[in-house]
Amino acid sequence: MIVGVPKEVKNNEKRVPILPFGVEDLVKSGHKVVVETTAGIGSGFSDELYEKYGATIVPTAEDVFLNSELIIKVKEPQPEEYNLIRKDQIVFTYFHFAANKILTESMENSKCIAVAYETVQNNNGELPLLTPMSEVAGRMAVQNGAKCLEANMGGMGKLLSGVPGVEPATVTILGGGIVGMNAAKLASGLGAKVYILDVNPARLKYLDEIMSPNVFTLYSNNHTIKDMLPKTDLLIGSVLVVGAKAPNLVTRKMLSLMKKRSVIVDVAVDQGGCVETCKPTTHADPIYEIDDILHYCVANMPGAVPFTSTIALANSTYPYIKKIADLGFLEAFKSDSALIKGLNIYKGTITHKGVAKTFNKNYLNPAEAIA
């Protein structure tokens, strides 16, 4: 199989979906890997290194898309890439369709096979390809939120950790999944007072057992959220409904409950956000204000640490890339119950319930689609 690796074109996105050592393994197995020039440079991997391990370096994205059966990426295709995607071409990346109707309809119209990292799901409910970037994003949410609290950034001028004689900041985290857990680990490690809100009692019990004494768990509902907002210095949104749009848990009206110059970091922005006033921003222009509340809503937060993120992502995605290349699309998906859940659009038909429900479109079970 010919595997194509175009350079990412999303704003300040420097990650690459495969390491040179993955290229070597694919080539040894009889596959061809086509890499757009400088695709890996932002993550610390040169063209020469990819060539050393067997990749063919090509000058343009057009060369990659035109000659490849399987396209692997990090972020969703951008508008300038839509017309490069061909009928029956497999595109394996983070799509987050529920947050982008234009992207969804463009992939439908292309008749491609769109496989989303974020909805590949094991039988135990784990999301093996979303987890590594959720770990990075959760930790970065705290780093960026702490920076936004500084007065020179427009924040209230509060140090997350506090100092002897001065209380620390209060961090409230909506959602106790992988993002929320990692955010709590870092925030609590810095000395903040941390509250995790979730609707799963078993998850709350688990978090209560493993977290440090300055982390508190609360059952999430509208009343609890409203009660916490006036106490909160940094609010982190980390709610996930697999494949679907995130629910709005904090409305614009509720911002009036928050302290002036407090900060919201909505990690759920790539699924539409769990704060009503959330809108996607970029690393080049990450922050905006609404009602005297700072919003940091960068949709590709892990892209700011591409060395770490690329290696973490590639370690998880590569076994699935290899399986598709070795077995072919149909056999790989029929033999892997986790991988088939990643199939979001199949040759013009939506095959993920969450995406279909979000846009009120027809849905076809993925197993039936490929039968």
**pLDDT value of position 248:** 93
* Among candidate residues 284, 304, 324, the one where a domain is terminated: 304
Annotation says 96 is catalytic: yes
User: Do the beta carbons of residue 272 and residue 98 sit within 8 Å?
Assistant: yes
What's the confidence (pLDDT) of residue 242? Answer: 83
Whole domain around residue 110: which residue ranges? 2-127+305-370
Same structural domain, 216 and 247:
yes
Domain stops at, among 255, 278, 304: 304
Return d(Cα 313, Cα 131) in angstroms, integer.
9
Query: Which residue's entry shows tokens 């904090």?
Result: 250
Same domain, 209 and 228: yes
Residues 298, 315 within the same domain: no
Residue 200, pLDDT score: 96
Verify that 262 and 183 share a domain, yes or no. yes
Query: Tell me: the pLDDT tens digits for 237-256?
Result: 999 888 788 899 999 999 99
Domain shared by 179 and 226, yes or no: yes
Based on the fold, state whether residues 284 and 141 are members of the same structural domain.
yes
Q: Quick check: 24 pLDDT over 90?
A: yes
The whole-chain average pLDDT of the chain stands at 97
Average pLDDT over residues 255-266: 98
- pLDDT over threshold 80, residue 258: yes
Q: Do 207 and 282 belong to one domain?
A: yes
What local confidence, expressed as pLDDT, does residue 313 receive? 97
What pLDDT does residue 241 have? 83
User: Which of 96, 198, 233, 266 is flagged as catalytic?
Assistant: 96
Alpha carbons 350 and 246: distance in angstroms, whole number? 19
CA separation for the pair 368, 60 (Å, rounded): 36
Examine the fold and report which residue of 304, 326, 352 is the final residue of a domain before the chain moves on.
304
**283 shares its domain with 178:** yes
What share of the chain in percent tops pLDDT 70?
100
Domain count, the chain: 2
Annotation says 227 is catalytic: no
- 120: confidence class by pLDDT, cuts 50, 70, 90: very high
- Given the residues 25, 233, 266, 270, the one annotated as active site: 270
Tokens at 84, concatenated: 């490069």
Q: How far apart are the first and last CA of the chain?
A: 21
In tens, the pLDDT along 274-323 reads: 999 999 999 999 999 999 999 999 999 999 999 999 999 999 999 999 99
Residue 272: phi and psi, rounded to 5, are: 100, -15
What average pLDDT does this structure show over 157-177? Answer: 97
pTM, whole model, 2 decimals? Answer: 0.92
Indicate whether 275 and 358 sit together in one domain: no
Q: CATH number, domain at 154?
A: 3.40.50.720
